[in-house]
Chains A and B, each alone.
Chain A
Amino acid sequence: MPTDKAEYTAPDSGAKTAAAAQKFETEHLEMSMGPSHPSTHGVLRLNLELDGEIVKMCDPVLGYLHRGDEKIAENMTYNQFVPYTDRLDYLAPLANNAAYAMAVEKLANLEVPERCQAIRVLTTELARISAHLLGLGAYSMDVGALTVFMITFTEREKLYKLFEDLTGARFTTSYTRIGGVTRDMPDGWMDRVLTFCEEFLPLLDDVEALLARNRIWFDRTADVGVISKEDAVSYGLTGPNLRGSGVDVDLRRDAPYSGYESYEFEVPLGEKGDCYDRYAVRMEEMRQSVRIVRQAIDKMPEGPFYAEEATKIFAPNKGKILTSMEELIQNFMITTEGPDMPAGEVYFEAENPKGALGFYIVSKGGGVPYRLKIRGPSFNNLSILEKVCVGGMVSDIPAILGSLDFVMGECDR
């Protein structure tokens, strides 16, 4: 304890601050967030440079889930690659299956029957609901609203039960084949889907009631992570993240595939492009998906669920393989050599839950792609992190990551 009173001179706050600044020079703190972090949903790592709590620099580090899917695709037939597409966006495997099958069918110039198209639309939209439910649940949990997570995961469980009834698997569905789907819908399945839709919409209203006018939710997400229209387009954002910034592009409506032109739905748009807008867009997209599901069930056409005339592409009915020589040979050829594809190049993008999932296929004929490039929407959606995180607080990062709703499976491929 100083005893000399002379030491207690009147404090000159300005000089004191200057002295303190000299003594404690602020320096930027480098921090690594991830790859195992609850809010990086998978294995994303962010190298952050912080000034106090302000993010000065953000450098995402990818590749922790890189499995070389594109290399693998060059070494197997088109149908053998279907299970690998489950593992791209593993929250919506049914949508990936359909997108991949449609890309290869575009290469083969193959028209699939209307019933197959309608089944694909139906499953894609159910997958969209499932993916958005998970995205929303995890997003709200990251910013502190745990109840939403409980509700959305209960609903997702019901969807998984439906997927299991349809495909035999809850998660890795591998439902499509080139030229069709593996099996028709079981009896009464569509009624169960309708029952799910009935029960689902009121629960969605509950979730909205929990979040939409919630002060905490609003404070954590509104005006956080604002992405301008120009940036969203230039960074190659797609899907709800692009529409959250108010860019009116939805491939289901603008470049329709699989008969989407015959369904009525609206494309929700955000205004500011902040985290709240992206949440609101996803919320409305789920309602529109229910609308599409109901229309698809309403006018589900009868007929075959695979392209029967494409005998060199779609493996025949299992029952026929065991009884008829022609079909046995056909099945053997398709299994061993792959479907018969023309040479050429196609690029196909489908509007998946996370954004535009694109397949660029270079074929030199035969049953194996020469080069298959997968454009994972999350890859581009994450590239904007280096811009959108900078200037915000560290605590904004979970909100931004949750609102971008990425999945590393298709980012790292």
Chain B
Amino acid sequence: MVAHDLKSALQEVCPQLQERETLDWPAFNCPIASLFVVVKTLRDNHDFDGLMDATAIDNGTEASPRFTVVYHLFSSKNHNYLRIAADCHDDESPSAPTLCPLFKSANWMERETYDLFGIRYEDHPDLRRILMWDEYPYHPLRKEFPLAGFEEELWDPEIAAETGTKVKPAPMAGGPFVARQSTFEGDREPIAKDESWNEANEKPE
């Protein structure tokens, strides 16, 4: 089914549905309130029976709406993909409806998105962190989170009390040599992003 037919079919359940810019598969922007019903229509009436990927994009700390949740659906009958994106309302504490009742694969992927972006999925049956440990306070894929990470308490208080060990930021002096998105036209060569310690300044203990 071509994108145009799909769009008119979906606009019956959600009139505000818009096409999204894409380089490959049909993609739609949909208001977050009607995300669930749109995906349900796609699953029930248009053979999109697999949720392959659920993730989010942080559009930048200044941007509003800041967080966009993105879903990729796959049809095992027609072998095509579809992208659905929805902007989260609240930039401070974003939330999105869960798709767990529709796809069981949504469970873990939404837990991952919650873990890494801090997007709360309403009515999710088991919204815990999945990759980071439960007590971790940050959401690492947000744009303001530095590549090296922050110093943080160890996850095991017993070991921490015994040894005084902490989770330390990654040592980055001397590399990795990274290119920066915004400074391509600059006259400097790419340098290490974290310059807090290098050959001149000793590594803080």
Please list the residues of chain A having a beta carbon within 8 angstroms of any beta carbon in chain B.
Answer: 62-63, 66, 68, 70-72, 75-77, 80, 106-107, 109, 231, 233-236, 238, 247, 249, 251, 254-255, 336-338, 342, 344-349, 356, 358, 360, 362, 364, 366-368, 370-371, 373, 375, 379-380, 383-384, 387, 412-413
Q: Could you say which residues of chain A place their CB within 8 Å of the CB of B181?
A: 364, 366, 368, 370
Whether A233 contacts B22 by the Cβ 8 Å rule is: no
CA A412 – CA B108 in complex, angstroms? 12
Whether A373 contacts B179 by the Cβ 8 Å rule is: no
Q: Could you say which residues of chain A place their CB within 8 Å of the CB of B72?
A: 347, 358, 360, 375
Partner of A236, one of B20, B51, B79, B184: B51
A contact patch SS: mixed
Whether B52 contacts A371 by the Cβ 8 Å rule is: no
Partner of A63, one of B132, B141, B180: B132
Q: Could you say which residues of chain B place their CB within 8 Å of the CB of A254?
A: 79
Partner of A383, one of B22, B25, B108, B131: B108
Binds A, one of B6-14, B87-95, B99-107: B99-107
Does B130 interact with chain A (Cβ within 8 Å)? yes
Q: Could you say which residues of chain B place their CB within 8 Å of the CB of A384?
A: 104
Whether A347 contacts B103 by the Cβ 8 Å rule is: no
Q: A63-B133, A337-B184, A383-B104 are contacts. A345–B83 as well, Cβ < 8 Å? A: yes
CA A90 – CA B52 in complex, angstroms? 22
Known: A63-B129, A106-B24. 15 other contacts (CB 8 A): A63-B130, A71-B140, A75-B178, A107-B23, A233-B49, A234-B103, A235-B104, A238-B52, A336-B189, A345-B83, A356-B52, A358-B52, A360-B53, A360-B55, A360-B72
Whether B23 contacts A346 by the Cβ 8 Å rule is: yes
Q: A76-B178, A77-B179, A360-B55 are contacts. A380–B24 as well, Cβ < 8 Å? A: no
Does B27 interact with chain A (Cβ within 8 Å)? yes
Whether B23 contacts A366 by the Cβ 8 Å rule is: no
Does B36 interact with chain A (Cβ within 8 Å)? no
Q: Could you say which residues of chain A place their CB within 8 Å of the CB of B130?
A: 62-63
Whether A76 contacts B176 by the Cβ 8 Å rule is: yes
Whether A71 contacts B83 by the Cβ 8 Å rule is: no
Instruction: Count chain B residues whose beta carbon lies closer than 8 angstroms to a beta carbon of A.
Output: 49
Partner of A373, one of B24, B55, B79: B55
Closest to A363 in B: B23
Q: What are 12 inter-chain pairs, A to B, with CB distance below 8 A?
A: A63-B132, A71-B145, A75-B147, A109-B23, A233-B76, A345-B21, A349-B52, A356-B52, A358-B53, A360-B53, A367-B184, A413-B131
Q: Could you say which residues of chain A place their CB within 8 Å of the CB of B58?
A: 371
Which of B25, B52, B176 gathers the greatest number of chain A CB atoms within 10 Å? B52
Q: Could you say which residues of chain A place their CB within 8 Å of the CB of B81?
A: 347, 349
CA A336 – CA B180 in complex, angstroms? 10
CA A412 – CA B130 in complex, angstroms? 9
Whether B179 contacts A236 by the Cβ 8 Å rule is: no
Whether A71 contacts B141 by the Cβ 8 Å rule is: yes
Does B50 interact with chain A (Cβ within 8 Å)? yes
Q: Could you say which residues of chain A place their CB within 8 Å of the CB of B178?
A: 75-76, 80
CA A76 – CA B83 in complex, angstroms? 26
Closest 9 CB pairs of A and B: A236-B105, A254-B79, A344-B23, A63-B131, A383-B108, A66-B131, A373-B55, A234-B104, A375-B53
Whether B132 contacts A368 by the Cβ 8 Å rule is: no
The digit string for B122-150, where 1 denotes a CB below 8 A from any CB of A, is 00000001111100000011000101000
Which of B51, B133, B179 gathers the greatest number of chain A CB atoms within 10 Å? B179
